Amino acid sequence: MTEQKQIRVLVVDDHTLLRRGVIALLMADPRFLVVAEAGDAGEAYRRAAETQPDIILLDNHLPGVKGVDALAGLKEAAPEARVLMLTVSEDANDLAAALRGGARGYLLKTVDSDAMTTAIVRTMAGESAISPEMTGKLVSAFNALQNGVKVDEGRPEQNPIRDLSVREAEILEHIAQGRTNKEIARALNIAEATVKIHVQHILRKLKLSSRVQAAAYAVAHAA
């Protein structure tokens, strides 16, 4: 049996006790390797550049800067890393900023340990991970993402969902329900690789960059 590669994690949180607790939790699980920790944005940039982690667990309240405002710098420091927000903020504006900045997920610190580790694994696999408490705020987040988008005057706004195939629309509905590719494949009785291809087509047609944005889009247009 091929040994599974450990997921390399950078933990960014200014509360030392909480940060160390998260690190202890992850290090007790053989699936994860915590390669670095940071207590502020500047240190996070340096550690990300040095270690090139797979996943960055990012608090939204850091000294002098919001975590969502540090996303661009982290993406520049570690282009391949996937950022998962871990925060106390239930503000839809923060969720929208995280989506806009390219975060792959948004977890509240009330999440239990199993849900957090599952979210990390899902994020690493290209899935989305949003705390259930935030699902109802996806519509507000999506609307905030659309601010500043201009529609040609005199032309009716087209709903890009109409450009999706029946199967793509079906998969988008499953994404909005927070299901993984494997769960979608099982529900639709198709190969997981086929689901991945459809997801790529959906993101391209809707001009979105992540499954989290796709989930927000689907919830907004179903409202």
Domain that holds residue 52: 7-137
Token pair 């207590």 in the structure block, residue = 39
Predicted local confidence at residue 212, as pLDDT: 76
Domain membership flag for residue 144 = no
Domain-ending residue, one of 111, 137, 163: 137
Say how many CA atoms lie within 13 Å of 203 toward its Cβ: 16
| Closest by Cα among 136, 112, 125, 132 to 180 | 125
Domain membership flag for residue 1 = no
Residue type, 83: V
User: For residue 66, what is the domain's CATH number?
Assistant: 3.40.50.2300
- Note whether 105 and 73 are same-domain residues: yes
What's 4's DSSP letter?
A: P
What span, in angstroms and rounded, lies between the C-alpha atoms of 53 and 81?
Answer: 6
- Note whether 101 and 154 are same-domain residues: no
What span, in angstroms and rounded, lies between the C-alpha atoms of 40 and 16?
Answer: 11
- Note whether 32 and 111 are same-domain residues: yes
Predicted local confidence at residue 28, as pLDDT: 95
Chain centroid offset of residue 33 CA: 20
Predicted local confidence at residue 149, as pLDDT: 38
Summarised one tens digit per residue, pLDDT across range 134-145 is: 776 766 666 655
What span, in angstroms and rounded, lies between the C-alpha atoms of 36 and 69?
Answer: 20
Chain centroid offset of residue 152 CA: 31
What span, in angstroms and rounded, lies between the C-alpha atoms of 37 and 11?
Answer: 5
Q: Kindly report the pTM of this predicted structure.
A: 0.71
- Measured over the CA atoms of residue 109, residue 43, residue 41 and residue 16, the dihedral's sign is positive
Domain membership flag for residue 145 = no
- Note whether 130 and 192 are same-domain residues: no
Domain-ending residue, one of 102, 137, 172: 137
Predicted local confidence at residue 101, as pLDDT: 83
Domain-ending residue, one of 82, 111, 137: 137
Predicted local confidence at residue 159, as pLDDT: 62
| Closest by Cα among 221, 60, 220 to 135 | 220
Q: Total structural domains in the chain?
A: 2
What's 72's DSSP letter?
A: H
- Note whether 102 and 159 are same-domain residues: no
- Note whether 22 and 99 are same-domain residues: yes
What span, in angstroms and rounded, lies between the C-alpha atoms of 16 and 45?
Answer: 18
Domain membership flag for residue 52 = yes
- Note whether 34 and 120 are same-domain residues: yes
Q: Supply 50's token pair.
A: 């040095």
What span, in angstroms and rounded, lies between the C-alpha atoms of 112 and 95?
Answer: 20
Domain membership flag for residue 142 = no
- Note whether 130 and 29 are same-domain residues: yes
- Note whether 129 and 167 are same-domain residues: no
Domain membership flag for residue 215 = yes
Other residues' Cβ atoms within 10 Å of the Cβ of residue 127: 22
What pLDDT tens digit does each residue of the chain (223 aa) get? 345 789 999 999 999 999 999 999 999 999 999 999 999 999 999 999 999 999 999 999 888 888 888 998 999 999 999 999 999 988 878 887 887 788 888 899 988 999 999 999 988 887 778 887 777 676 666 665 555 333 333 444 456 677 788 898 888 888 877 788 888 899 999 998 899 898 888 888 888 877 777 877 776 665 4
